[in-house]
Each structure stands twice: as structure tokens, then as C-alpha cells.
Amino acid sequence: MSQSLSDIVNLFHFPPSKSPKLLNPLVLAYIGDAVYEVYIRQYVISGTNHRPNHLHKAATQFVSAKAQSKLLERLMPMLTEEEIDIVKRGRNAKSGTTAKNADVLEYRHSTAFECLIGYLYYQQSFDRLREILDVALPQPSSEA
């Protein structure tokens, strides 16, 4: 039985208490981190190696603060003004914590990326969210 995207989205039927534009950027980053984590986990599970250690190592290559910071850098030229504003809000948010394996700038850019993902998720801009998330994945080789 096939499910539509709206059926899957209805699984998560708890909208935020405020408009996404009014949410604290760290709240957006909090949900954005979870959305991105599930996206990447689904991606690595779509491969053939399902050993837990391999899945964890493969996912970590995408979800680390360093990887998210680099991804945000690649995304910046394709973002709209509204999305750039959300990224800036996330980057400038004071979280009070630091990453274990990243410098302060990488951590802030990682938070900015997660803030953008959370914002698009709560805006229900799923086509745009998928377009942005797909940039994280390795591109198929064009060699024939």
C-alpha cells in the first residue's frame, strides 16, 4: 500500500505553538537536527551495508558539525533572501553549548543549517526542504 507525503506528515501532527517565523532559532535548530538525522539515516539504510557500526559511521559523515558547516557553505548561493535571514538568525543564536569535535564557527554554521531545516519543515515547504537536503548526498557520477 502506497502512502502519500501528506499521510506521512500527518504522522507528526503536533504543530509548533507559534508561527515558524516567531520561533526561537534554537527551537528551529532542535527540530531541524532531528529532521536531518532521520533523512540521513534513511539514506544510509537505503544502501546495502546494514551493520550498525557501518550505519553509524556513514551517518556521522553527514551529521557532524563540520559536515553541516561545509554543506551550508555549498547551499548559500542557492538560498532565497528569506532563507538567508533564517540562516543568520540560527548562526547568531547563543546556544550556551559547544561541539565536541568542531570549532565555534563550524558549530554556529551547523546550528544555522539545522535552523533552516527546522524552519522549512515547520513551514511545510517539503519540496524545497527535499531540494536542500538532497544537496547533502553524493551526486551520481556523470561518467558513462
Q: Which of 25, 35, 36, 37 is nearest to 115 (CA)?
A: 25
Residue 5 within a domain: no
Residue 10 within a domain: no
Which member of 7, 33, 103, 127 is catalytic?
Answer: 33
How would you write the pLDDT of the chain (144 residues) with one tens digit per residue?
455 555 555 667 888 999 999 999 999 999 999 999 999 999 999 998 889 899 999 999 999 999 999 999 999 999 999 999 999 999 999 877 777 778 889 999 999 999 999 999 999 999 999 999 999 998 765 554
In this structure, how many other beta carbons lie within 10 angstroms of the beta carbon of residue 110?
A: 26
Structurally, the chain folds into a number of domains equal to 1
The model carries a pTM of 0.88
CA 72/CA 136 separation, integer angstroms? 9
Q: In which domain, by residue range, is 95 found?
A: 21-134
CATH assignment of the domain containing 130: 1.10.1520.10
Residue 1 within a domain: no
Predicted confidence at residue 9, as pLDDT, reads 57
Q: 33 catalytic, yes or no?
A: yes
Residue 30 within a domain: yes
Residue 143 within a domain: no
**Tens of pLDDT, residues 86-122:** 999 999 998 777 777 788 899 999 999 999 999 999 9
Residue 11 within a domain: no
Residue 142 within a domain: no
Residue 12 within a domain: no
